[in-house]
């Protein structure tokens, strides 16, 4: 079986769990004899291509006669969304970006598009234009490549998946790693919601990373239940290494690692840290990540007078992520809305006890993690204090947590994805 797969990022160039999940899944699929053509907007040359044939959209010649893509062009208009969306940027920063934004358009004339499109590969002010260009590339690839199934990861690639389906007639599977309700709460960007909903409607099968997300897809997007299946994420053990180094501080370390955005609940982490520090001074807190709430969190830490016990590392990736986990005594993920959440699995892999919100998809598969409501700062602070001060408690979660996470492998997730592929293929051939 061969799969034409569309994604927006691929390790080591990632901004969060999406790229990590794509990498783990493709490796699992390859082990089970599935050939994957993985398309990204931009490639940098240092990606691990051992499990996939990696194609950069900006390298694809799109001088393909529109006459041969007539059906696609007729339906392209809905992709031309006049929106300057930048995910996870607060209104103040958004205004600054818009001031410097220059309009760009997809150009095509005389029935032909220009030879190649340029892609930043980032989440920039021209994101919607890049999403549209990416769909044009997808149409051309679908007309040239041989494959059995199309697989699109998250809303940025849903238009590409639709275009590839229209051109090839092959079944489309869309993979929902997060929804606009996760990113924005109730203040959704309507343009993004429309793209998400259209992708799910057109798809032959929708894969969600948790039952939590599956429920959102069914109730908020109106997708039929029998069309939506859950495949939980997993953790990759191939890059885990024994690390020995000096910590540099004598205190215990409690870590938050993720985007510093509304969705991830960094403000609850800061407030809980303040409560813990009122009970013990033998601890330091680390917020590793970047995002639109970072400056606000720095100001709040200063207001609370705990800056001498708080560290902001900025965005970490690759070996630095593993190093941070190995330095930590407790890992906290207080997400307000988390479709899954791979980072707790990575922490448990590194023998770190974890505290996660009940509002996370990963809570569905973890038994040996402390679970609290994201808004319950007192419960969060008590949990942190308990793991720091009662060795029997932390040892229990470390030992059983490692045993548990060892069973959450990408090979198992890949098997369930293959079942989804086989289902859409059988329906098409019946």
**Tokens linked to 422:** 């086989």
**Radius of gyration of the chain, Cα coordinates, nearest whole angstrom:** 22
Same domain, 222 and 277: no
Same domain, 68 and 211: yes
Same domain, 184 and 277: no
Model confidence at 91: pLDDT above 50: no
Same domain, 138 and 59: yes
Q: Is residue 247 part of a domain?
A: no
- Whole-number pLDDT of residue 196: 94
Tell the burial category of 217 from Cβ atoms under 10 Å away from its Cβ (0-12, 13-18, 19+): buried
- Give the dihedral of Cα atoms 44, 46, 49, 52; nearest 10 deg: -30
Q: Tell me how long the chain is.
A: 430
**Residue 304, SS3?**
helix
Q: Are 147 and 34 in contact (CB under 8 A)?
A: no
Q: Residue 319's pLDDT band (boundaries 50, 70, 90)? A: confident
Q: Is residue 246 part of a domain?
A: no
Range of the domain at 21: 2-234+410-429
For 256-310, the pLDDT digits (tens) are 999 899 889 999 999 999 999 999 999 999 999 998 899 999 999 999 999 999 9
Q: Is residue 243 part of a domain?
A: no
Same domain, 350 and 392: yes
- Whole-number pLDDT of residue 80: 41
- Whole-number pLDDT of residue 356: 97
CA pair distance 330, 321, nearest whole angstrom:
14
Task: Identify the CATH number of the domain in which residue 105 sits.
Answer: 3.40.50.2000
- Whole-number pLDDT of residue 75: 54
Q: Is residue 335 part of a domain?
A: yes
Say how many C-beta atoms besides its own lie within 10 A of residue 249's C-beta. 11
Say how many C-beta atoms besides its own lie within 10 A of residue 216's C-beta. 21
Give the chain's mean pLDDT: 86
Q: Residue 117's pLDDT band (boundaries 50, 70, 90)? A: confident
Same domain, 162 and 74: yes
For 244-270, the pLDDT digits (tens) are 667 778 899 999 999 899 889 999 999
Same domain, 256 and 179: no
- Whole-number pLDDT of residue 220: 97
Same domain, 161 and 295: no
**Residue 228, SS3?**
strand
Say how many C-beta atoms besides its own lie within 10 A of residue 113's C-beta. 23
- Whole-number pLDDT of residue 124: 63
Same domain, 142 and 97: yes
Q: What percent of the chain has pLDDT over 70?
A: 84
- Whole-number pLDDT of residue 85: 40
- Whole-number pLDDT of residue 127: 76
- Whole-number pLDDT of residue 245: 66
Q: Could you write out the DSSP letters of every residue in 128-167? A: HHHHHHHHHHHHHHHHH---SEEEEESGGGHHHHHHHHHH
Looking at the DSSP assignment, which residues form a beta bridge with residue 285?
254, 310
Q: Is residue 121 part of a domain?
A: yes
For 375-396, the pLDDT digits (tens) are 999 999 999 999 999 999 999 9
Range with the lowest mean pLDDT among 87-101, 136-150, 176-190? 87-101
Q: Is residue 392 part of a domain?
A: yes
pTM: 0.85
Number of domains in the chain: 2
CA distances from 385 to 12, 252, 253 (A): 35, 11, 11
Same domain, 336 and 420: no
Same domain, 339 and 416: no
Q: Is residue 277 part of a domain?
A: yes
Report the run of H or E that residue 229 belongs to, with start and end.
strand 228-230
Same domain, 36 and 162: yes
Range with the lowest mean pLDDT among 173-177, 190-194, 391-395? 190-194
- Whole-number pLDDT of residue 84: 35
Q: Is residue 241 part of a domain?
A: no
CA pair distance 26, 151, nearest whole angstrom:
11
Q: What are phi and psi of 290, to 5 degrees?
A: -140, 165
- Whole-number pLDDT of residue 244: 65
**Tokens linked to 9:** 């990022």
Listed residue (415, 414, 412, 423) closest to 149, CA to CA = 423
Q: Residue 14's pLDDT band (boundaries 50, 70, 90)? A: confident
Q: Which residues fall within 8 angstroms of residue 403, CB to CB, at 6 or more apart?
A: 368
Q: Residue 73's pLDDT band (boundaries 50, 70, 90)? A: low
- Whole-number pLDDT of residue 173: 98
């Amino acid at each position: 079986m061969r799969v034409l797969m569309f994604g927006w990022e691929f390790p080591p160039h990632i901004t969060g769990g999406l790229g990590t999940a794509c990498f783990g899944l493709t490796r699992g699929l390859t082990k089970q004899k599935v050939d994957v053509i993985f398309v990204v907007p931009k490639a940098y040359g240092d990606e691990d291509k051992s499990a996939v044939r990696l194609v950069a959209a900006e390298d694809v010649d799109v001088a393909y006669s529109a006459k041969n893509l007539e059906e696609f062009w007729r339906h392209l208009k809905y992709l031309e969304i006049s929106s300057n969306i930048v995910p996870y940027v607060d209104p103040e920063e958004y205004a600054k970006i818009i001031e410097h934004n220059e309009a760009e358009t997809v150009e095509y004339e005389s029935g032909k598009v220009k030879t190649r499109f340029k892609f930043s590969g980032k989440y920039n002010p021209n994101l919607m234009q890049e999403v549209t260009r990416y769909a044009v590339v997808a149409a051309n690839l679908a007309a040239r490549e041989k494959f059995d199934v199309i697989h699109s990861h998250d809303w940025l690639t849903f238009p590409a998946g639709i275009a590839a389906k229209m051109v090839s007639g092959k079944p489309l599977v869309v993979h929902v790693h997060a929804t606009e309700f996760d990113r924005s709460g109730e203040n959704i960007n309507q343009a993004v919601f429309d793209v998400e909903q259209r992708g799910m409607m057109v798809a032959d099968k929708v894969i969600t990373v948790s039952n939590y997300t599956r429920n959102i897809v069914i109730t908020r997007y109106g997708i039929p239940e029998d069309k939506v299946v859950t495949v939980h994420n997993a953790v990759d053990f191939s890059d885990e290494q024994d690390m020995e180094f000096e910590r540099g501080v004598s205190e215990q370390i409690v870590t938050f690692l993720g985007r510093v955005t509304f969705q991830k609940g960094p403000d609850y982490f800061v407030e809980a840290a303040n409560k813990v520090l009122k009970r013990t001074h033998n601890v330091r807190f680390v917020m590793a990540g970047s995002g639109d709430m970072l400056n606000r969190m720095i100001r709040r830490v200063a207001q609370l007078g705990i800056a001498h016990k708080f560290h902001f590392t900025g965005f970490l990736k690759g070996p630095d992520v593993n190093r941070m986990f190995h330095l930590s005594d407790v890992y906290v993920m207080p997400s307000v809305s988390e479709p899954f959440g791979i980072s707790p699995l990575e922490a448990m892999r590194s023998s770190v006890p974890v505290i996660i919100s009940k509002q996370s998809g990963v809570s569905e598969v973890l038994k040996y993690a402390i679970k609290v409501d994201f808004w319950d700062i007192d419960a969060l602070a008590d949990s942190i204090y308990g793991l720091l001060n009662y060795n029997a408690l932390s040892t229990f979660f470390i030992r059983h947590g490692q045993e548990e996470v060892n069973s959450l492998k990408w090979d198992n997730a890949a098997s369930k994805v293959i079942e989804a592929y086989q289902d859409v293929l059988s329906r098409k051939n019946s």
